[in-house]
Amino acid sequence: MDESLPIVDSKGRVTIPRKVPSALGLRPGDRIDLAEIEKGQFTIIPMTGSIKMLGGMFCRRRTKPASFEAMNAAVAKGASRSQ
């Protein structure tokens, strides 16, 4: 059998040739994403980045959390405007 071809077992698991994870810098336990680039054609995307890389991506200016009293006051103020 050709060792360079991926193999699908009876449970749907795919064994890929050693050169692929090596080329992608993958280690045991790393996750990958399979993205369809065209109908019936997929690419392997290594998901090796740390969640810490996302830090600050969605961050807005930090503000002090609002108290329940302040939230209730804001709701009451908004409700009085709509009447």
pLDDT digit string, tens, across residues 14-26: 998 989 999 988 8
Nearest-angstrom CA–CA distance, 83 and 66: 25
CA-CA distances (angstroms) from residue 65 to 52, 53, 61, 62, 78?
23, 25, 12, 9, 19
Domains of the chain and any CATH numbers: 1-49 (2.10.260.10)
Backbone angles phi, psi at 46, to 5 degrees: -70, 135
Among 5-14, 31-40, 71-80, the minimum mean pLDDT is found in 71-80
The mean pLDDT value of the chain amounts to 81
What pTM did the predictor assign?
A: 0.47
In 3D space, the residue among 48, 18, 20 whose CA is nearest the CA of residue 33 turns out to be 48
Mean pLDDT, rounded, for 30-52: 84
User: Which residues share a beta bridge with 8?
Assistant: 14
